[in-house]
Amino acid sequence: MESSNTILKKYWGHNTFRPLQEEIINAVVAKKDVLALLPTGGGKSICFQVPAMMMDGICLVITPLIALMKDQVENLKKRGINSLAIHTGMNFFEVKQTLQNAAYGNYKFLYLSPERVETKLFKEYLPAINVSLIAIDEAHCISQWGYDFRPSYLKIVNLREELPNVSIIALTASATAEVQEDISKQLLFSKNNEVFQQSFARPNLSYSVLEPESKQSKLIEILKQNQGTSIVYCKSRKQTQQITEWLIQNKINADFYHAGLSNEQRQLKQTQWIQNKISTIVCTNAFGMGIDKPDVRTVVHYNLPESLENYYQEAGRAGRDEQKATAILFYEKKEKEALYNINELRYPNIKSLKKLYIDIMNYLQMPAGSGEGISINFDIATFSEQFKLNILEVTYGLQALIQEGLFYISDATFKPSTVVFNVTKEDLKTFEETHSHLEPMIKCLLRNYEGIFDYPSSIYESLLVNQLGVSIEGVKNQLLELNKYSIIKYQLQANKSQLLILQNRMYQDDFKFDIQQIEKRKKNHSQKIKAIIEYAELKQSCRAKTIANYFNDSSTEKCGVCDNCLTSTSSALNNKNFDEISKLILNLLSLQNLNIIAIENSLHHISKEKIKKTIEYLLAEEKIYADKNGVFLKNKGTEI
């Protein structure tokens, strides 16, 4: 067995591990169940990828994030590590082939969603797969006391029966003490399990809360002063578009992103932002999961999020390169009431839930006693309009039904077009003789897609364009013509949310909802809202320390760089000579741009600590700013 350090160097090119990574890896290799709490950007994947490379067999990686699956599989392949993924959009035969590869091929990782674990096909192949380790990402999803509870995660524990000697590593960036305990309980962790919690401190990240008179004007000011890429989180899809338009009008290179876009649109915008072709992405919380961009300098929350868990994870996407970064939260007092109102919508009464359930099943034309395992395209907007329902109430009501284990709904995902031939090879030859204009298309399909006579094959119309020398519309028209003649069955690509029915439709007199648990979840969510409001209204306490305490991390010290810490520091300086030092620094910077060493040399009669604290305050007040080389510049509007 190669050592963990050897594997880290060989495949990842690093000489040393980050804090706690090596300890976690050693516990996993020792076959212990492990809960690893590592902040966003803390290197969670290394904690299961390295030990999996040390073991004989394949590691099952369970994650709900399709973007993460694809990215990690691609990254592992680039490192020469054979990996597989099963995700939405793959047809039956593609899934079957992937499972066969996992069972009989030389692969080290198989990524799949929690829903896939319970499928008949997966269970059929599992005994043939030599599983070395089970890694569960976003492990907080298994707890109904977490901020993103997913009932499908509760089924993962069934793997314990099939794989009794395989240990589990559960990973999450944010979990309270209550959620940590619940994760261990739900996964039936062994008695000798170990919990590792990295410090929630981010020394390079400065947290601030602002209550501006005009959010729009303040946002423009922040984005123009802070160089580098930025993320602006918004509460709605509509708002992302409105703010983007306004930013573009003010000459800021921005684009919007939300789950309502097609997969191709989202992929394009995401790629352009990662490649710095877009400096600011304005998005809902659909953006960021599984995306690794270390050089984000600023994250702005335009609205108050629903919990500190959400906020910490999203704000933590800034400064992963360990360079200085800023997380700014805009706050308005009226947002408090709005959040509590949403809590009422999020946990509707039983009567409303029953009605919504019946409406959905009627919309899907699903008779009582049937439906389990069926996956159907489902558009919330169309459904709401047809049944004359409020779309927000439908959204939250559906989430409640999902938490009850009745449905699972995926975000809009790209499902490629499929083609399968409906005729024999002899009949096809006869058809070609009488329809010669379609012969190149037929030959192209047969040449590119093996097995297309036996089962539906995923095809990409854009790839056929170059081979046939016709437009994308021309390709689709030819395929539709072949479909019309029943030569092929052509299923156009789907780009809609998929609603998976997890239980047969209940009979009207046999509804089963756990009212007690719904009320508990509602109360728990109210406490989360209270915590984020208290954070937003903090006037003196260190914000980084407050966040760490929320996650049961008592080791974190005052950060010294959040707005509250800087205000406290500036107050102490004001009592002595803060104004004097500020004027001296601003005078120097009005003559030339200087780094901190040059400033300290020019003001050698003043202590370096006082100079540093004054600079931090001037930065927070945006009277000065620093370029990427650490050189300070005075803002044009700053008076001396």
Q: Same domain, yes or no, for 18 and 147?
A: yes
User: Does residue 634 have a pLDDT over 90?
Assistant: no
Q: Which two tokens stand for residue 74?
A: 């691609």
Q: Same domain, yes or no, for 218 and 102?
A: no
* pLDDT of res. 94: 85
Summarize pLDDT for 224-279 with one digit per residue, the tens.
Answer: 988 789 999 999 888 999 999 999 999 999 999 987 787 678 888 988 998 999 99
Q: Same domain, yes or no, for 186 and 227?
A: no
Q: Same domain, yes or no, for 57 and 188?
A: yes
Q: Same domain, yes or no, for 118 and 267?
A: no
Q: Which two tokens stand for residue 316?
A: 């933590």
- Closest residue by Cα to residue 84 from 109, 64, 59: 109
User: Does residue 92 have a pLDDT over 90?
Assistant: no
Q: What is the CATH number for 580?
A: 1.10.10
User: Does residue 73 have a pLDDT over 60?
Assistant: yes
User: Does residue 414 have a pLDDT over 60?
Assistant: no
Phi, psi of 254, deg, nearest 5 = -130, 160
Q: For the chain, give the longest Cα–Cα distance.
A: 96
Alpha carbon 163 to chain centroid distance? 29
The 8-class DSSP code of residue 467 comes to: H
Q: Same domain, yes or no, for 481 and 508?
A: no
Cβ neighbours for 269, distance < 8 A, ≥ 6 positions apart = 255, 256, 257, 261, 278, 281
Q: Can you list the alpha helix ranges (DSSP code H) found in 592-639?
A: 596-602, 608-620
Q: What is the CATH number for 127?
A: 3.40.50.300
Summarize pLDDT for 440-449 with one digit per residue, the tens.
Answer: 999 999 988 8
Q: What is the CATH number for 363?
A: 1.10.10.10
Q: Can you list the alpha helix ranges (DSSP code H) found in 299-417?
A: 308-315, 334-346, 350-363, 380-386, 391-403
CB 464 within 8 A of CB 449: no
Which helix H or strand E contains 131, and what residues bound it?
strand 131-136
pLDDT band per the 50, 70, 90 thresholds, residue 640: low
Q: Same domain, yes or no, for 65 and 184?
A: yes
Residue 617 in any domain: the answer is: yes
Q: Which two tokens stand for residue 571?
A: 């107050």
Instruction: Tell me the torsion sign for CA atoms 375, 379, 380, 385.
Output: negative
Q: Which two tokens stand for residue 368?
A: 């009582």
* pLDDT of res. 143: 87
What's the whole-number mean pLDDT along residues 390-407?
85
What's the whole-number mean pLDDT along residues 6-24?
93
- Given 311, 331, 351, which residue is the final one in a domain? 331
Summarize pLDDT for 342-383 with one digit per residue, the tens.
Answer: 888 888 888 899 999 999 999 999 999 999 888 788 888 789
Residue 474 in any domain: the answer is: yes
Residues paired with residue 328 on neighbouring β-strands, in sequence order: 208, 300
* pLDDT of res. 571: 64
Q: Sheet containing 498-501: which strands, arranged edge to edge? A: 375-377, 498-501, 407-409
* pLDDT of res. 460: 75
* pLDDT of res. 616: 82
Q: Can you list the alpha helix ranges (DSSP code H) found in 138-276?
A: 159-162, 177-186, 215-225, 237-249, 263-274
Residue 125 in any domain: the answer is: yes
Residue 581 in any domain: the answer is: yes
Domain boundaries, position 114: 4-197
* pLDDT of res. 373: 80
Q: Give CA separation, 303 vs 55, 206, 216, 233, 284, in Å.
A: 46, 18, 12, 7, 11
Q: Same domain, yes or no, for 487 and 513?
A: no
* pLDDT of res. 575: 56
* pLDDT of res. 88: 67
Q: Same domain, yes or no, for 500 and 436?
A: no
Residue 285 in any domain: the answer is: yes
Q: How far apart are CA 264 and CA 407, in angstroms?
A: 26
How many residues would you count in the chain?
Answer: 640
Residue 547 in any domain: the answer is: no
Residue 226 in any domain: the answer is: yes
- How many domains does one find in the chain? 5
- Given 170, 197, 224, which residue is the final one in a domain? 197
Instruction: Report the SS3 class of residue 234.
Output: coil
DSSP string computed for 58-109 = EEEEE-S-HHHHHHHHHHHHHTT--EEEE-TT--HHHHHHHHHHHHHS--SE
CB 423 within 8 A of CB 451: no
What's the whole-number mean pLDDT along residues 70-87?
90
Q: Same domain, yes or no, for 280 and 362?
A: no
Instruction: Report the SS3 class of residue 345.
Output: helix
Q: Same domain, yes or no, for 313 and 343?
A: no
Q: Same domain, yes or no, for 175 and 81?
A: yes
Q: How far apart are the first and last CA of the chain?
A: 65
Which helix H or strand E contains 296, and what residues bound it?
strand 296-301
Residue 548 in any domain: the answer is: no
- Given 282, 297, 331, which residue is the final one in a domain? 331
